Amino acid sequence: MPAQDITVEIAYATPERQVILELQVADAAVPREVVANSNIDTYFPEIDKQLCDIGIFGKAIRPGQTLENGDRIEIYRPLLADPKEVRKRRAAEGMRMKKGGGKEEVETGSKAN
Protein backbone atom coordinates (compact mmCIF):
# COMPACT_ATOMS: atom_id res chain seq x y z
CA MET A 1 0.00 0.00 0.00
CA PRO A 2 1.58 3.33 -1.00
CA ALA A 3 2.25 5.97 1.65
CA GLN A 4 -0.40 8.65 1.86
CA ASP A 5 0.07 12.29 2.68
CA ILE A 6 -1.36 13.77 5.85
CA THR A 7 -1.98 17.38 6.84
CA VAL A 8 -0.07 18.82 9.80
CA GLU A 9 0.59 22.30 11.13
CA ILE A 10 3.74 23.96 12.39
CA ALA A 11 3.15 26.76 14.90
CA TYR A 12 5.48 29.39 16.32
CA ALA A 13 4.68 32.61 18.12
CA THR A 14 6.37 35.59 19.66
CA PRO A 15 4.58 38.21 21.76
CA GLU A 16 4.16 40.26 18.58
CA ARG A 17 3.39 37.65 15.94
CA GLN A 18 2.10 34.11 15.38
CA VAL A 19 2.49 31.93 12.29
CA ILE A 20 0.82 28.59 11.66
CA LEU A 21 1.88 26.77 8.51
CA GLU A 22 -0.22 23.97 7.08
CA LEU A 23 1.83 21.28 5.35
CA GLN A 24 1.23 18.04 3.48
CA VAL A 25 3.72 15.37 4.60
CA ALA A 26 4.12 11.61 4.30
CA ASP A 27 2.17 9.71 6.95
CA ALA A 28 5.40 8.29 8.39
CA ALA A 29 6.99 11.73 8.78
CA VAL A 30 9.06 12.51 11.86
CA PRO A 31 8.36 15.87 13.56
CA ARG A 32 11.99 17.06 13.62
CA GLU A 33 12.37 16.36 9.89
CA VAL A 34 9.16 18.23 9.08
CA VAL A 35 10.39 21.28 11.02
CA ALA A 36 13.82 21.05 9.35
CA ASN A 37 12.24 20.92 5.88
CA SER A 38 9.71 23.68 6.54
CA ASN A 39 10.19 27.34 5.73
CA ILE A 40 9.23 28.61 9.19
CA ASP A 41 12.62 30.31 9.43
CA THR A 42 11.67 32.69 6.63
CA TYR A 43 9.15 34.19 9.07
CA PHE A 44 11.36 33.85 12.15
CA PRO A 45 15.07 33.76 11.21
CA GLU A 46 16.06 33.37 14.87
CA ILE A 47 14.76 29.77 14.93
CA ASP A 48 17.42 27.07 14.85
CA LYS A 49 15.34 24.34 13.21
CA GLN A 50 17.77 21.59 14.24
CA LEU A 51 18.02 22.49 17.93
CA CYS A 52 14.73 24.19 18.86
CA ASP A 53 12.46 22.52 21.39
CA ILE A 54 9.34 21.09 19.78
CA GLY A 55 6.20 19.29 20.84
CA ILE A 56 2.84 18.17 19.53
CA PHE A 57 -0.18 19.88 21.08
CA GLY A 58 1.84 20.95 24.13
CA LYS A 59 3.49 17.59 24.81
CA ALA A 60 7.18 16.87 24.21
CA ILE A 61 7.86 14.56 21.30
CA ARG A 62 9.09 11.05 21.97
CA PRO A 63 12.07 9.58 20.13
CA GLY A 64 10.88 7.96 16.92
CA GLN A 65 7.42 9.50 17.18
CA THR A 66 5.62 9.85 13.86
CA LEU A 67 2.91 12.31 12.96
CA GLU A 68 -0.79 11.73 12.57
CA ASN A 69 -3.22 13.62 10.39
CA GLY A 70 -4.16 16.92 12.03
CA ASP A 71 -1.18 17.10 14.42
CA ARG A 72 0.20 20.54 15.26
CA ILE A 73 3.95 20.72 15.79
CA GLU A 74 4.71 23.57 18.16
CA ILE A 75 8.12 25.23 18.25
CA TYR A 76 8.92 26.53 21.72
CA ARG A 77 10.86 29.69 22.50
CA PRO A 78 13.59 29.51 25.13
CA LEU A 79 12.52 30.53 28.62
CA LEU A 80 13.63 34.01 29.62
CA ALA A 81 13.96 32.95 33.26
CA ASP A 82 14.15 29.54 34.87
CA PRO A 83 10.94 29.17 36.95
CA LYS A 84 12.81 27.33 39.71
CA GLU A 85 15.34 30.15 40.02
CA VAL A 86 12.57 32.76 40.10
CA ARG A 87 10.84 30.89 42.97
CA LYS A 88 14.14 30.60 44.88
CA ARG A 89 14.88 34.30 44.46
CA ARG A 90 11.36 35.24 45.53
CA ALA A 91 11.63 33.03 48.61
CA ALA A 92 15.00 34.55 49.49
CA GLU A 93 13.48 38.04 49.23
CA GLY A 94 10.55 37.04 51.45
CA MET A 95 8.06 37.65 48.66
CA ARG A 96 5.30 35.57 47.16
CA MET A 97 2.86 36.19 44.36
CA LYS A 98 -0.66 37.22 45.28
CA LYS A 99 -3.63 35.94 43.41
CA GLY A 100 -3.79 38.26 40.43
CA GLY A 101 -0.04 38.53 39.92
CA GLY A 102 0.96 41.26 42.38
CA LYS A 103 3.68 40.90 44.98
CA GLU A 104 2.84 40.38 48.61
CA GLU A 105 5.12 40.43 51.66
CA VAL A 106 5.36 37.16 53.50
CA GLU A 107 4.80 37.63 57.23
CA THR A 108 7.52 36.11 59.33
CA GLY A 109 7.77 35.57 63.05
CA SER A 110 4.96 35.47 65.52
CA LYS A 111 2.82 38.28 66.84
CA ALA A 112 2.97 39.12 70.51
CA ASN A 113 -0.31 39.33 72.42
pLDDT in tens, 90-103: 787 776 655 555 55
CATH fold of 5-76, please?
Ubiquitin-like (UB roll) (3.10.20)
- DSSP-derived 3-state class of residue 4: coil
One-character DSSP codes across 38-51: S-GGGT-TT--TTT
3-state helix, strand, coil in the chain (%, to 5): 20, 30, 50
Give residue 50's pLDDT band: very low, low, confident or very high (50, 70, 90): confident
In whole angstroms, give the CA distance from residue 73 to residue 61.
9
- Who has greater pLDDT, 44 or 111? 44
Q: Where are the domains of the chain?
A: 5-76
Element (H, E) at 92: helix 83-92
Residue 34: its pLDDT value, please? 93
Q: How much is the pTM?
A: 0.67
